[in-house]
Chain A
Amino acid sequence: AQSVTQLGSHVSVSEGALVLLRCNYSSSVPPYLFWYVQYPNQGLQLLLKYTSAATLVKGINGFEAEFKKSETSFHLTKPSAHMSDAAEYFCAVSDQNAGNMLTFGGGTRLMVKP
């Protein structure tokens, strides 16, 4: 069975500081990995995805993530936080045979201080 662990349910950074949101996964087969963002009262928006091409994946809004197989990690980073980045972030995994069945982590709420 697949699982996703997001370390830290709440992360607080100052505006302009580095954002690092952690995600570790377990999967018995090569996974597809995703980061989604959710703003209040909205659905999920895809930030980026890893599907076995380049291990460093660039997404929207300046976010990127690096797939590290040896560490089973897919951490999300952004060099400089903006107030508009305040939201909840979800890491998700699926295997290539699972169709659209995603397993999500518990989410990390990012707070950005002025």
Chain B
Amino acid sequence: KAGVTQTPRYLIKTRGQQVTLSCSPISGHRSVSWYQQTPGQGLQFLFEYFSETQRNKGNFPGRFSGRQFSNSRSEMNVSTLELGDSALYLCASNQGPGANVLTFGAGSRLTVL
């Protein structure tokens, strides 16, 4: 079965712009989590959605937001981009809370110039 699909895989933006990243979970998975990966800060949890509700949120500014649709697909948005937002954004899915094993997508690599 298809894995976790993230689009776009690569994108370049300039400071001040906004970006929307998309994640399609594995069929049947209802929980989607987002992580940011940078060389300096490593892997950091952004947020988790289950049944269209945000369950947990990491320590990121309000410029980072997300949502989940009824088909479990998720989007995250970053507004007013800063150079430090350049990162690999990883999406992961599983059946729901308590399933405890995440399947990750290949990521969306964002470069902010």
Residues of B with C-beta under 8 A to A106 = 42
Residue on A nearest B103 in the bound complex, by CB: A46
Does B4 have its Cβ within 8 Å of any Cβ on chain A?
yes
A38-67 residues at the B interface, CB under 8 angstroms: 41-46, 49, 51
Assess whether A43 is in contact with B42, with CB atoms less than 8 Å apart.
Answer: no
Given contacts A43-B90, A43-B106, A46-B102, contact A100 B56 (CB under 8 A): yes
Could you tell me the distance in whole angstroms from the C-beta of A111 to the nearest C-beta in chain B? Answer: 17
A34–B103 Cα distance when bound, in Å, is 12
Residues of A with C-beta under 8 A to B107 = 42-43
Residues of A with C-beta under 8 A to B48 = 99-101
Assess whether B56 is in contact with A43, with CB atoms less than 8 Å apart.
Answer: no
Could you tell me the distance in whole angstroms from the C-beta of B27 to the nearest C-beta in chain A? Answer: 17
A102–B55 Cα distance when bound, in Å, is 13
Could you tell me the distance in whole angstroms from the C-beta of A57 to the nearest C-beta in chain B? Answer: 13
Using a CB–CB cutoff of 8 Å, the interface residues on chain B facing chain A are 4, 31, 33, 35, 42-45, 48, 50, 55-56, 58, 90, 92, 94, 97-107
6 more A-B residue pairs beyond the given contacts A43-B107, A99-B48, A101-B45, with a C-beta to C-beta distance below 8 A: A36-B104, A45-B104, A92-B43, A94-B100, A101-B56, A104-B44
Interchain residue pairs with CB less than 8 A apart (6): A36-B104, A98-B56, A101-B33, A105-B42, A106-B42, A107-B42
Using a CB–CB cutoff of 8 Å, the interface residues on chain A facing chain B are 32, 34, 36, 41-46, 49, 51, 90, 92, 94, 98-107
